[in-house]
Chains A and B, each alone.
Chain A
Amino acid sequence: MAVDVRPVLIRGGRVVDPSQGIDDVRDVLLVGGRVEAISASLAAPDGAQILDATGLVVCPGFIDLHVHLREPGGEHKETIATGARAAVAGGFTAVCAMPNTDPPVDDPAAVGFVRAQGDRAGAARIYPVGAISVGQKGERLAPVGEMVEAGAVAITDDGHPVMDSGLMRLALEYARTFGIPVADHCEDRTLSRGGTMNEGVVSTRLGLTGIPNAAEDVMIARDLFLAELTGGRLHIQHVSTRRGVELIRDAKDRGVSVTAEAAPHHFTLTDEAVDGYRTEAKVNPPLRTAADREAVRAGVADGTLDVIATDHAPHHYDEKEQAFDDAPFGLVGLETALGLAYSELVLGGVITLPRMVDAMSCAPARAFDLPGGTLRPGTPADVAVFDPTWEWVVEPSKFLSKSRNTPFAGRRLTGRVVWTLVGGRLLWESAERPSSR
């Protein structure tokens, strides 16, 4: 697909590429779907499209290791095509599709289907993640090797935590054979026991069943011990607790092979957002306390939480328009991730802009061994260009995602994507950019 692409010269932007230690005003030339050159001043080849990036940030396209695209089986919430378009609108050039579909992605045929649908969508690259266990039932291993051959980049039973420690050990050992990571949604279901929000003052006030931090902490601790035992590659999804961050930090100090995610909602909101029984703020792991939020921020800052991942979880409005207990967990994140990361973390003084790009582009590529995450010449031209001064208000009705379930509606954010290029093709150009820029 890359050969006949028109050359693109992105001129005069602040190029931030931590993979090469670049943070400077440069021109970036994309030819034949690949990065051709990065330099202080480049001439445009004949027929090249020129994008004036003066005042904008040019970085490797974002990679989201954690999205739910709902296809097959949940097409009323999202399809691979709508999710892939929402991704490029958010600056993501690649996303990893979770396997908890209906039927789940637990065999090579299903992996092939997700890939094919991703290719057909022609937007962000779609990387399938296979299930750990057959049917995500937590009983016996899915055909991991065959799924890897078919294109799975990792395995997880996300949405159905692996309660059986023996199975988790096997998964880490077996996946090691193929060099892929095992990603885990850490939740001890015997502790979360039907809970719908964080356990604490707010759940007590609202009369909702709480999910204690310990439900997550004990599973993170277990998984870290098992990673140490097996030498397997562990990836811990959406860390929401302060102890969870500490446990991972300690494990990394011991040399355990572990990477971890922080989700924008966990570094932005607390369980107070649930007040008024707001189902848009119902998410699992739940929004926790201010102390947990601070720990997640600190974890992103020091790299304990390598990656920012959205856990994009679309739901139809009918499903969220229910009593809190009955509404499903999850919120959409692809189109608000950059705005939240930039406003909350960079402008909030928690991290530098290069660290943000690292957490959204380079670190995810490293964690799952994906192409991208760099603008090194010769690599695929997956690029995000965003305006770091653009102030905007989140309007869910304008989302490209099929779903609108976000607790951030009406929130004022700074930082928004202007252009997204995948394989050198301009797949997203914002129509709303203020003309003053």
Chain B
Amino acid sequence: MPVSPYLGKDLIGLQHLSAEQIRAILDTAEPFKEISERPIKKVPVLRGKTIVNLFFEPSTRTRISFEFAEKRLSADTVNITTTGSSVVKGETLVDTARNLEAMRIDMVVIRHSASGSARFLADRIPSNVVNAGDGRHEHPTQALLDMLTIRDHLGRLDGTRVCIVGDILHSRVARSNIWGLLKLGAEVAVCAPRSLLPADIESLGVTVFSRVEEAIEWAEVLNVLRLQLERMQAGYIPTLREYNRVFGVTRERVERAPRDLLILHPGPMNRGVEIDSDVADGPHSVILDQVTNGVAIRMAVLYLLAGGAPERAEEAKHGG
């Protein structure tokens, strides 16, 4: 299996990547954006490669985004989801991986509810492994597409003030964004009820805001996280209504911002809970740009892991 000279064998998280590696992915995504704008959205970059999308957790957006990226690069893909596989019959992650490997695949994209599961798989099979979200640990392609979107709109990441708002405790998106943004020189803050912040979050190098008004006062970019309904059932917050009252990114709050805000959301949104429709659909929202960029970022990651070079991405697109 190829080991990318730029990324190594796998993409598990942003914590252990360097600023140059992250920049290489973002830069490689640029030429790939254009493929999705063509009438015939297909280039032969990954022709003959077999990629398995191994999703142990329900996901629509991320899985489809990966699948488009793979198909537009001409890879052969198979989707495995929990409901349609032997996983429900009690087969272990190790056995699933070994069986896939025995069918001679090239890459695995894995989504799993346990933190560390992507690393676990990567350590046990020679194929390239891409982490599409492992528990509360990391979701690197989401953070990369968030960063690409910010860079597109503000022209820079260095010195940018980004606040992640919402359930930081349970969020892999938050962790990947924190690592990636800090490495590229952004200032990062988090804003959440204290019951939804992990222990010693400050030690990662972020500022903590307890009130969303303070976060808005400070930030240039708000990345608003989805509040899972289960969190309320588990007692982390009293009610969704209270959450919206106290922590919701509402039009009134955004209008009081001292500067133009850029609003991101990794989706799927709970309109009227963590974000109001006025904001999600409003002029500051770049939520659909994130989705578009997601495909380009995933193309870039797959291309690099398959052994591609960032500076050759343009010619690779043309079958070079």
Contact = CB atoms under 8 A, between A and B. Distances in A.
A200 B201 CA distance: 9
A208 B199 CA distance: 11
A254 interface: no
A2 interface: no
B172 A207 contact: yes
Interface stretch (A71-79, A147-155, A315-323, A381-389): A315-323
Interface string A304-323: 00000000000000100111
B138 interface: yes
Main secondary structure of the interface of A (DSSP, over half): loop
Given A204-B199, A207-B136, A207-B175, A325 B92 contact: no
A277 B199 contact: no
Given A207-B175, A208-B115, A277-B120, A322 B93 contact: yes
Interface string B116-143: 1101100000000000001111100000
B94 interface: yes
Contact of A200 (B117, B199, B204): B199
Nearest to A325: B114
A205 B199 contact: no
Nearest to A318: B92
B92 A324 contact: no
B99 interface: no
Nearest to A210: B199
A204 B200 contact: yes
Contact of A207 (B115, B120, B200, B203): B115
A220 to B, nearest CB: 20
A208 B136 contact: yes
B92 A205 contact: no
Contact of B203 (A204, A206, A321, A324): A204
B112 interface: yes
Contacts of A209: 136
Which of B94, B112, B114 has most chain A Cβ within 10 Å? B114
B198 interface: yes
Nearest to B134: A207
A208 B138 CA distance: 11
Interface in B195-250: 198-201, 203-204
A407 to B, nearest CB: 16
A192 interface: no
Contacts of A184: none
A207 B115 CA distance: 6
Contacts of A52: none
A14 to B, nearest CB: 46
A229 interface: no
Given A322-B92, A323-B93, A324-B114, A203 B119 contact: no
A323 B120 contact: yes
A200 B199 CA distance: 5
A323 B200 contact: no
A206 B199 contact: no
A212 B138 CA distance: 22
A160 B136 CA distance: 27
A166 B253 CA distance: 50
Given A207-B137, A277-B120, A318-B92, A325 B200 contact: no
A146 B203 CA distance: 54
A206 B135 CA distance: 9
Interface in A182-240: 199-201, 203-210, 212
Which of B116, B200, B204 has most chain A Cβ within 10 Å? B116
A206 B117 CA distance: 11
Interface in B125-163: 134-138
Contacts of B116: 206-208, 277, 323-325
Contacts of A205: 15, 175, 204
A321 B204 CA distance: 29
Nearest to B203: A201
Contacts of A203: 198-199
Given A201-B199, A323-B114, A207 B119 contact: no
B120 A212 contact: no
Contacts of A208: 115-116, 135-137
Contacts of A199: 199
B13 to A, nearest CB: 9
A323 B110 CA distance: 13
Contacts of B200: 200-201, 204
Contact of A212 (B15, B134, B137, B199): B199
Nearest to B175: A207
Interface string A290-304: 000000000000000
Given A324-B114, A324-B116, A325-B115, A204 B92 contact: no
Contact of B198 (A204, A322, A323): A204
A322 B113 CA distance: 13
Nearest to A324: B116
Contacts of A277: 115-116, 119-120
A429 interface: no
Contact of B112 (A200, A212, A318, A323): A323
Interface string A246-279: 0000000000000000000000000000001100
Given A205-B15, A207-B138, A318-B92, A324 B115 contact: yes
A326 interface: yes
Given A204-B203, A207-B175, A325 B135 contact: yes
B115 A206 contact: yes
13 contacts: A199-B199, A204-B200, A204-B201, A204-B203, A207-B134, A208-B136, A210-B199, A277-B120, A322-B92, A323-B93, A323-B114, A323-B115, A325-B113
Given A207-B175, A208-B137, 15 more contacts: A200-B199, A204-B199, A205-B204, A207-B115, A207-B135, A207-B137, A208-B116, A210-B199, A277-B116, A277-B119, A322-B120, A323-B114, A324-B114, A325-B135, A326-B114
5 shortest interchain CB distances as A-B pairs: A277-B116, A207-B136, A207-B137, A323-B114, A207-B115
